[in-house]
Amino acid sequence: SAVISQKPSRDICQRGTSLTIQCQVDSQVTMMFWYRQQPGQSLTLIATANQGSEATYESGFVIDKFPISRPNLTFSTLTVSNMSPEDSSIYLCSVGTGTPYEQYFGPGTRLTVT
Amino acid sequence: GENVEQHPSTLSVQEGDSAVIKCTYSDSASNYFPWYKQELGKRPQLIIDIRSNVGEKKDQRIAVTLNKTAKHFSLHITETQPEDSAVYFCAAGNNFGNEKLTFGTGTRLTIIP
């Protein structure tokens, strides 16, 4: 498995501002993912964070709104830009690792936009 | 793309009875099927997974079965205990290529003491 941490654990932000969420892993991993989980809902993949290249976004998510960085094999950031109340959600990073391959989740960042 | 359906959305069982959650997937290229348990306010926790080269896998009280022909897989929990109460998510993906997972909509399992 992998030990995954996220910062911040929660935040309350004003609309129109941006928040950057950090994800740190205790070992080098090839695959890192960012998910959104709205209250009482399932997990929706925002993007795959690729080291050394642009992130791959899922349908409905765009780079201008959710810019992602992946500077190395243990760290990634997700920025939620120009926030609106609809962005209130839990944002989780996930890593894929191991042989056989498995995916694990970070503790999440609970974002409230007022 | 992949589409995963999960049933039921809620499930209540008496403590000690068995619980079964079922999922279907659409993409025949999927070969990796994990199950996650999410307790309130916690992260999803990987509890068991199965790959397309096997039909069943067991780990103590939990088991998962896979039918690739019918494109469905199921989670079985036996001798349920109050601590099994949580939301369970199935997922499908592949461990070749991009390895992303598509999740089901979740099942809220309540164990009645």
Convert the pLDDT of each residue in B20-46 to its tens digit: 999 999 999 899 999 999 999 999 999
Taking an 8 Å cut-off on Cβ atoms, the answer to whether B102 and A103 are in contact is: no
pLDDT reading at A66 higher than 90: yes
User: Which residue type occupies B10?
Assistant: T
Share above pLDDT 90 across residues of chain A, in percent, rounded to a whole number: 83
Taking an 8 Å cut-off on Cβ atoms, the answer to whether B51 and A100 are in contact is: yes
Question: What is the mean pLDDT of the segment spanning A78-102?
Answer: 93
Q: What is the DSSP string of A36-71?
A: EE-TT---EEEEEE-TTS--EEPTT--TTTS-EEEE
CA distance B18 to A1: 28
Chain B contact for A33, CB < 8 A? yes
Closest-CA distance, B58 to chain A, in angstroms, reads: 16
Q: What pLDDT, on the 0 to 100 scale, is given for residue B96?
A: 66
CA distance A66 to B91: 24
Identify which of A65, A61, A32 has the alpha carbon closest to the alpha carbon of residue A46.
Answer: A61
Chain B contact for A56, CB < 8 A? yes
Question: What is the mean pLDDT of the segment spanning A49-77?
Answer: 92
Per residue in B45-81, pLDDT (tens digit) is: 999 999 887 889 999 999 999 999 999 999 999 999 9
- Using the CB atoms, write b or e for A8-17: b if 16+ within 10 Å: eeeeebeeee
Question: What is the mean pLDDT of the segment spanning A16-38?
Answer: 95
Chain B contact for A96, CB < 8 A? yes
Strand partners, A94: A33, A105
Chain B contact for A61, CB < 8 A? no
pLDDT reading at A102 higher than 90: no
pLDDT reading at A15 higher than 90: yes
User: Which residue type occupies A79?
Assistant: T
**Which residue's structure tokens are 């997922």?**
B91
Taking an 8 Å cut-off on Cβ atoms, the answer to whether B99 and A101 are in contact is: yes
